[in-house]
Structure 1
Amino acid sequence: MQNRAPETSSAPQGAPQGSGPRIAGTVGGRPAPGTRPPYQGNRSGGYQGQNNRYQGQGAPRTGGYQGQGGGYQGQNPNSGYQGQGGGYQGQNPNPGYQGQGGGYQGQAPRTGGYQGQNPNPNYQGQAPRTGGYQGRTPNYQGRPAGGAPGARPGGFRPQGGPGGQRPPFGQRPGGGRPGPSSGTQEMDTLNQRTPKKTFTKKTNASYKKRNAEEEKEFQVQRRKEQAAAKLASVPKSIDMMEVITVSDLAKKMNLKASEIIAKLFKMGMMVTINQQIDHETAEIICSEYNCSVHLVSLYDETLIASESDEDQELVDRAPIVTVMGHVDHGKTKLLDAIRSTKVAEGEYGGITQHIGAYKVNLDDRGEVVFLDTPGHAAFSMMRARGAQVTDIVILVVAANDGVMPQTREAIDHARAANVPIIVAINKCDLAEAKPERVMQQLSDLGLMPEEWGGQTLYCQISALKKIGIDELLDTVLLQAEMLELKANANCRAEGKIIESRIDQGRGIVASVLIERGTLRQGDHYVAGIYPGRVRAMFDDKGRKIEIAGPSTPVEIIGLSDIPGAGDPFQVTEDERQARQVGAKRQELERLGDSRNVKKVTLDNLYSKIKEGTIQEFNVIIKGDVQGSVEALQGSLEKLSNDEIHLNVIRASAGAIIESDITLASASEALVIGFNVRPTPRAQALADQEKIEIRKYNIIYDVVDDIRLAMEGMLSPEVREIEIGTVEVRDTFKVPRIGTIAGAMVTKGKVKRNALVRVIRDSIQLNSQMVRISSLKRFKDDAKEVAEGFECGIGLENFNDLRVGDILEIVDTEEVARKLESNQKI
C-alpha cells in the first residue's frame, strides 16, 4: 500500500484565497468534520468538489477522498475563516488527534486508514485534505480537475465514460451527474429538485371480504342478540301513577330516554325528556318490551320503608271500631251512650259533620277506639276513609226507618275494606220499631243473622235509653278476640290522618290514628305530602301527652301545611328524609294537577267556542276542618250542568282572611264560610269591595242556597199556551201593508203581538209561528178581541192567507227552571 503524493493546484497568482483548486492533504484552515487520511480504497477516483465537474465514475480513481475544498475560511472572501486553530486530528493522541493545530488525520492510528472489511488491502483510509473551505466567493468555480490518481481532468462530462478499475470489485458503470464548470455549460444543481417518490399501500392478498349474504346474516343475528339483551334488562312490571315523565319511565324500564322518545315519535307524539305521558301511552310502550304496568297511588310511588316486625315484638292492641249508618239513625247517640258524653247535643242540626276518634276504657274488659263518621250523603269520602282504617264496623240501622241509601253505601265500603260488620238495630224502644223487617232487608243485602243461619252478629239496642249497650260491647270484644289484633310498638310510628284543621292560636292541627309503632314528641314525620315535626301531642280528651302507642287517636301540632283527611302519616329517620319525601310527593302532586288542566287544541277548539255561552258560578269555600271542606266541595260541584258551571276556585280549612276576599273580588266569587268566620280585617275589606260572605253551620243549607242561586242564573223555560182560534172569512190586499184577513174568533181570544199557526186542510203551513202585526176591530186598533167577534188580522212577513184557513193563536210564558234533575247527592 502506497501513500498518494500531495497534489498542488495551479491557481493564478493574486487570486483570492480559496478560489483555486484545493491541495490534497491538511493545509491550514479548519477541515470539515470527518476528515481522514487519504482514502485509497474502493473508488479509484476521488470526489472533486460539489460545484466543479464530477470526476468520479468515468475512470478509475487512484486517489482517495480529497476533502471538500479546504477548511472553512470564514465568510470574508479575502482571508476566509481559518478555523479555530486547527482541525480535529483524530481520537488517538499519536497520529490522530493533535489538538487544534492541524487538520483531521483520521480516527485511528493506522497509517493506511480504514482497511475495509475485506482482508484485501483495498481501503486505504481517507486522504488528508489540502485545504479547508475557502469561503463563499463569487469566483468559486468548484473543485479543480485532477485530484486522486486515475481521475479525469476537469471539464464537462457530457456523457460520462466508464470509470477506472475498482479492484477487486470490478468496473463501475460509467457516467454521473454532470456538474457545473467554469465554461459556458454550467449547471446549478441547487435549482434541481429531487423526483417525488410515491408509495403504494401494500394490500394483504390473503384478506377476503365477507360475502354480502353472510354479512347480512351476521347483522341480523347481532340485532337479535342486542334486542334479547335489552329485553332481559327491562323488568317484567313497573309501578306508576296516572302520569309519568319520559325520563322517569326510562329509568323504571332501564332504557335510554332517547329510545322512549323515538318510540313515541313513531306513534305520532312529539315529546321531550321532561314531558308527561299518561299511563295508557306508557302501557303501549311497555307492551313492546313485554312489561306490564301497575297503577299506584302517590304514596305507594314514594313509599317509606317500614321496619320489619318480629314475632316477639308484637303485642295486643285495642280494636278500632267505626260506627256507620244513615243520617239521623243514632250513631253519635250510641257513642254518647258508650262514653257517657253528650257530643250529639253540641252538633249543629243534630247531624255529624266531622269524623271523630275516641278511645274508651271498658274497665277490666280492655280499651276500644271508636270512629264516628257522618251519615249525610255529602260525606261519602269520610265513610270510605273510616272503613279503610278500621278493624270492625258497627252498622247502625233505625228500627223504624229500615235500610236507607247511606246504609247500603256503608255496607259497600265495609266490604271493599274486607272488614267484619256488626249490625246494631237502634230505636227498638219505639212503638213503630220493626227489627224483623230490618233483619230481612239486610239479609237481602247479604248480611244474614246468626240465628237465621248466617254469620253476621246482630244487636237490638236503644242508644237514647241505653238499652243493649253492654251486649253490643261484648259482641265487639268477641269479634276483636277472633281477629287476634296485634301490632309492633317498638318501631317508627305509622298511621292515618283522620282530620285536619287550622286552630286559632295553635296553628295547623291534625287528628292522627296511630296504627303501629310509637309516636314521640319531637319525631320528624311526613303527613300526606307535607313534612313536619311533632311539637306537641294531645289525647282525645285534650290532655297533653308525650308518647302514643298503637291504636291511639292523638292531635298533633307542628305541621307545615294542611294534609288531606285519610292521608298516610309516617315517622321518618330524620328531618332530611322527611323533607326529601315531602318534596318528591309535592312534585308528583303538581304533575297530577297539571294533567287535569285542559289545553285548547284544534280538535276541541270548536267545543271551546260553543262553551263560551256557558255561565260560571265561582265560589270560595272555607271550613273548620279539611274533611268537611272536601265534602262540601264535592256536593257543590255536582250542581253543575250544561249551562252553568260551578267553579270552586279555593277550598281550604281555616278562617276567612284578606287574601280570600281579594281573590273573590278578582274572580267575582261568592265566599262560603262553613263553621268559620272572617277576621275583622277581612270583613272590612269585604264590605269595601262589596263581596258577599255566606256563613253556614249545616251542609244542607249550603247546598240548597247555592242551588237556588244557580237556578236564578238559568235561562227560563218558554212554554206555549193556545189562547184562541180564528177562522178566515175574507182577504183584502192593502198596498204597502200586505194581505189582511177578515176573520171570526171562534174560540178563546186574540191578542195583539200574539203568535199564530196557519192551518190549511189540517196542515200547518208555516214551519215557525208568525206574529200578529195588526189587529183591528172595524177601523180601530184593538189590543184584544174576544170570542164571537169579527176582526181584521195582519201577519208579519206572511201574505199567503186564503178563505177557510184556521189561525191558532198562541201566547208564551216563561217558567223558572229547576236543578232537581242535575243534583246527584
Structure 2
Amino acid sequence: MSIKISSLAKKLGLKTPDLKKQIKDLGFEIPKNATEIEDDLADLILSEFENPKEEEKITEEVSENQSEASIYEEIYEKTLEKEIIKSQRKLTAGKERKISDESVTKEEEELIDLPKEALKIPSIISVKEFSEKTGVSAAKIIGELMRNGILASINQEIDFETASIIAEEFNISIKRIRDEASLEDMMEGNLENLLKEDDKSDLQERPPIVVVMGHVDHGKTQLLDYIRNTKVIAQESGGITQHIGAYAVEVQGKKITFIDTPGHEAFTAMRARGAKITDIAILVVAADEGVKEQTIEALNHAKEAKVPIIVAINKIDKERANIDKVKAQLAEQGLQPEDWGGQTICEPISALTGDGVNKLLEDILVVAELENLKANPNRPAVATVIEAHLDPSLGPTATIIVNTGTLKIMDNVVIGGTHGRLKVMKDSRGKKLNKIGPAQCAQIAGIDETPYSGDILQVVPDEKTARRQAQQIKDLIGLKNRKTTGMGIDEIIARINEGKMKTLKIILKADTKGSLEAIKQALSKVKNEQVAIQSIHSGVGQITESDVLMAAASKAIIIGFHAEANHNVKKLAERENVEILRYEIIYQIVDELKKLLTGLIEPEIVEITLGKLDIKGVFLTKKKEMIIGGKVTEGKIEKKSKFKLLRKGEEVGRGEIQELKLVDKAVNEVEKDKECGLKVNTSNPIQIGDILEVMGFEKRFKSL
C-alpha cells in the first residue's frame, strides 16, 4: 500500500517539496518526480511529527495539589505510555490488519513475521544490511534509532551494541559473529584471541603442525627431504617439488603438516611477531656429535613456545653414534627420555636410510592425539604467513597455514597491513587448489604488497572492508613503532608494569663460562614472594640476532657481561624494541635488576583524599539517592568517586557520586572553589553543613 506525498504533506501542514526534503534527511532516496511513498515510511514520518505540545497537555492533566516529585513521576509515566504506544504502532506499520494505538494483543504480535532463532550479526553493520537480515523495514529501524537519540541514514553503519538495542525493541534475538578478528589481535598476531571464540560444537579434529629444529648439520633438512619424498600426500604427487615453506604428509590415513624453514631463527621470528602456530617441535640431535650450543638454543626456543618436544636422535648409522650419551646430555638440559623414566620421546633414526622415521611419524600422531587439536572449518579462514617473497611472475606471494576456517580461491583477505583477492593458490607440488582447511598450507598470490613472516591473514566480506582494515592495521603499526629507542631503566620498568608481568625474563650472555656461572649464582639470591627472575637462555659469546629474536618473542631483556652486539644486532633490537643492557661489573647487574623488580612487585592499594565538598543545599531525597549542591573547598571531586560523609569532623557514612553538574552541564570532575550539583548514592541522610571527603585509590610500589 502507498500514500500520496501531497496528501501526507497536507496532513502535516507542510509543502510537498519540504516533505520530500524531510524524507531525504531520514536517509531515503526517492525519485524527484515521485508522487507516492510506502505506508511504512508514511507512518514513520507521522510518528515524528506528532503534536509537539503533547507534553504540555499531559502536564495540564496533573493536579495542581501534587508535589513536584509526584508531578514529574506522573508526567514521566504518561510520556512513557505514549512512547510505548508509538513504538507498538511502528512495529506493526504496513500490516494488512489494523492495530489500535492502545494495545497490541498476543494474537496481533504473531502477525509480525520476525525470526525465531538468534541472527548472526557482525560487529559493524549498515542499517540497510540490518534491515535485510532482520526482515524489519529500514524505515522502522531508522525510527527506533531516532527514538534512541541516533540519527542514521539507510547506508550508515551501526555497531553491534546499537544493533542489539534496536533488535530488542522488535523482540529479535541477535548474536555477534565471532569469526571476525580484531585489528589489534591481527596486528599483534594473537592467535589465542583470534581462535578462542569458536563454539565447541563447531570444532573438528585437525592435523598437527610440526616444526623441525636443531644444530646445523645434524640432519634437519635431510629428515624433511626424506619425509617429503616418501610420505607426500598422494594427490599432491606427480609435479615438480617447489619449496614453499610448508607441506603436508599422510601417515596411517592422517595428515601432518611440516613447516620447512631454515633453522630455528624463522620459527623464532614468527614467535617474535606473536604467531604461535606450531603444535609439536622435533629436536634433531646427531648421535655422533651430541647436544651442541644451537641444540640448547633451539630447545630453549621450543620450551618458551610451550610446545611438546620430540627428540629425533639422527645419524644412528654412523660408527661413532652413541645414543646413551645423547640421552644423558638431554637429561642434563631437562629433557628426561621416556625409557629413563621421563616424559620426553627420544626416537633413534637415520634420515639417510629411513630407519626409525616411520616410528617418529607415529609418535607425532600420538602426541597430537594427546594435545586434542581441533579447529572450526565452517567459518571464514584465519591463517598465518610462514614466509613471503616477490615472485617475478605472480607478484607478492606468501606461504600460509590455515589456523581455522576454510580459505577459498577469490576470497577477499587482509594480511597485516596489506590486502587482496586470492587469485592463485598452489600446494608444494605446484598443483592449483580451490580451497584448504585447518592446518593445511598453500602458496597464495593476488595481494597488493609482500607481507611479513608471522602476519595474520583474515578473510573479510568484500574488497572495501579489506582495504579499510589493512589501512587501519597500518595506522596501528605506525602508532606502535612510534616509540623511543632509549635503553633506560625507567622505560623498562614502565613497560613491565604496563604488561602486568610477574616474572622478569632475561637472556644472559658472558665472555667466559666462569663469568656466566658467577652471574647466575648472584642472581639466584635476588628473590621475592611476588616476583621472580627467569633466565630463559644463557651462553658464552657475543650477543646475536637470534638472541634478540628470542627476547622479542618472550618479552625478555638481554644482559651482556663483557659481551658486545654488532651494528646489525643493535638495529634489530631497536626495531623489535628489545632492551640490551651491557655491564663490566657483576654487582651492577644485581643492583639494576633489583630496580627492575621494584616495578614488578604487586602494588599496595592506598586510599587517598582527592578533595572536599562543603554541602550548601539538599534538594531531593529518595531511598539511597540524593540530589545535593555544594562548593569544592579542597582538591577536586570526580564522578563515580567514593566519598566519606563527615559531620562535625566525624565519619557518619559513605557513598558514591553518581552524577556531577556544573551550572547545567554534566561534567566528570569539578575543581577547587567551584560550586556544583551532585547526585549521590548513600544510605545515610545528608545535611546542610556536612562535608563530603572524596576518596581515590593509588598504587604504591615497595622496594626489594
- Which has the larger strand fraction? 2
TM-score range, shorter chain: 0.3 to 0.5
TM-score normalised by L of structure 2: 0.40
TM-score normalised by L of structure 1: 0.34
Larger Rg computed on CA atoms: 1
Larger relative contact order (CA 8 Å, sep ≥ 6): 2
